Amino acid sequence: EFKLGARGLRSICETIMLDAMFEMKSNEGGTLEITVDYADNKLERIDLKVLKAV
């Protein structure tokens, strides 16, 4: 649908995981479960149409 390249996909992944990367303690390890609701909530912050390849 969006025909994204690597940079576009990276942008989406960073948007979804950015807060968690800073909130999780790096020395404790652990897991992050990304649900559809979590991803949808984070993706509301960006305009996905901007990422569409021309």
Structure tokens at 30: 């652990």
Tell how far CA 41 is from the center of its chain.
10
pLDDT at 2 (0 to 100):
64
CA dist 13 and 32 (Å) reads: 13
Query: Which range marks the domain in which residue 14 is found?
Result: 6-51
Q: Quick check: is 45 in a domain?
A: yes
pLDDT tens by residue, 1-54: 667 788 888 888 888 888 888 888 776 777 888 999 999 998 887 776 666 655
Q: Quick check: is 36 in a domain?
A: yes
Domain count, the chain: 1
Q: Quick check: is 1 in a domain?
A: no
